Amino acid sequence: MGTTASQIGKDRLAEYQELTFLTKQEILLAHKKFSELLTKDERDLQNIRVPMETILTLQELKSNPFRNRICHVFSTSDIKNGSLTFEDFLDLLSAFSDSATLEIKSHYAFRIFDFDDDGTLDCGDLEKLVNCLTGETDDTRLTSEEMRQLISNILEESDIDKDGTVNLSEFQHVISRSPDFVSSFKIVL
């Protein structure tokens, strides 16, 4: 069970190289890791869909506080259960890769942070985001007073049109001023 190009097919590989930001080695490595998640009979099937729990056993995603959101965002399943096909997995890795552009990364970061999937980041989204960042246990959460102060500061800084939410353009405006974002929004197998 090696990772040879013949497993994916040369033209498929070229297609993946064209449609994602991944290099040939990275695509083959992704294929190998994905196949390890499947059972023996599943490996021969095409377009097999791996449930979210199995994906989350990957070392790179296991301890990421946004792992559930990441799976939901990249999943193309109709029942929205966060399961990923191999192509969804490649999309995930492409957005998190070294050579992905700032636009792609900021776009997907916005969708990951949008916990209620309504297209904007409102106070509820921001609060859930901050809790993910600081940890969910009681001693690592901010007090409600601090949370209020923080969210009002964030909205004051980023909400340009003062509608109480941060939309995609405002989010991308903040991101564009950060020099570290591209290098920290990275998952490499």
Partner 1 sequence: MASELQDPSGVYDYTEGSSSYPGEQQPLRSRRVSSQDSNQNYPQFNWNPEEDEEGDSGLPRELRSIPLPMSLKRAVRQVQQMKVPVVSRAESWKRKKTRSLRKLKDNSKEVLDAFTLWKKTLQKIGGNFGSGVHSYFLFLRFLVVLNFVSFFLIAGFVLAPSIVFRYVDSSLDNSNGPAECLEYNPNPKVTVFYQYFLDLLSGTGFMEYSYLFYGYYYNKVVANEDVTYNIPLAYVLTAVFYFAFCLICIIARMGANARVAVATGGHTIGEYSMIVFTGWDYSCLRDRDTKLKQKNIHYRLQVDLEEERLKKRAAALTLSRKVLLYSLRTFLHLVAFGLIMGAFYGIFLAADFSQKNTTEKGILGLFYEYLPSIVITAGNFLVPMLCDQIALIEKYSPSTTVIVALLRAVFLRLVSLAVLLFTLWRQITCDGNIEEAGCKLCQYNYNVYPCWETRIGQEMYKLTLFDLLINIAVLVLVEFPRRMVVDKCSCKLTQWVGRQEFVVPSNVLGLVYGQAVVWTGTLFCPLLPLINTIKFIILFYCKKITLFYNCRPAHRTFRSTTSTFFFLVVLLFGWGLATVVMVYSLSEIRPSLSCGPFRLFPNMWSVVPSSFYSLSETTQEFLFFIGSQSFSIPLFALSCVVMCYFIALASVYGKSVALLRTQLKLEGRDKQFLVKQIEQLGRQLHIPTHSAGCLLPVWLNYFLSASCVTSPETVSFDRSGFSRR
Residues 64-123, interacting with partner 1 (CB under 8 A): 64-66, 74, 76, 87-88, 90-91, 94-96, 99-101, 103-104, 106-109, 111, 113, 116-120
122 and 164 in contact (C-beta within 8 Å)?
Answer: yes
> How far apart, in whole angstroms, are the C-alpha atoms of residue 3 and residue 141?
44
- Min CB(149)–partner 1 separation in Å: 6
Tell which positions 141-180 bind partner 1, by CB under 8 A: 142, 146, 149-150, 153-154, 157-158, 160-163, 167-169, 171-180
Instruction: Single out the residue of 37, 71, 83, 185 in contact with partner 1 (rule: CB under 8 A).
Output: 185
User: Could you tell me which stretch among 5-13, 31-39, 54-62 binds partner 1 (CB under 8 A)?
Assistant: 54-62
* Residue 127 contacts partner 1 per CB under 8 A: no
166 and 120 in contact (C-beta within 8 Å)?
Answer: yes
Instruction: Single out the residue of 6, 25, 39, 144 in contact with partner 1 (rule: CB under 8 A).
Output: 25
What's the CA dihedral at 84, 88, 92, 97 to 10 degrees? 140
Instruction: Single out the residue of 44, 63, 138, 144 in contact with partner 1 (rule: CB under 8 A).
Output: 63
> How far apart, in whole angstroms, are the C-alpha atoms of residue 42 and residue 86?
12
20 and 13 in contact (C-beta within 8 Å)?
Answer: no
- Min CB(40)–partner 1 separation in Å: 25
Query: Hunting for tokens 């990364």 — which residue is that?
Result: 105
Instruction: Return the number of the residue (38 or 181) whose C-beta is nearest partner 1.
Output: 181
- Min CB(13)–partner 1 separation in Å: 13
**Which residues have a Cβ under 8 Å from the Cβ of 157 and sit 6 or more positions away?**
174
Size of the site for partner 1 (CB under 8 A): 79
- Min CB(160)–partner 1 separation in Å: 5
For the residues of 93-138, what is the DSSP string, one character each? Answer: HHHTSTT--HHHHHHHHHHHH-TT-SSSB-HHHHHHHHHHHH-SST
Query: Hunting for tokens 């901010």 — which residue is that?
Result: 142
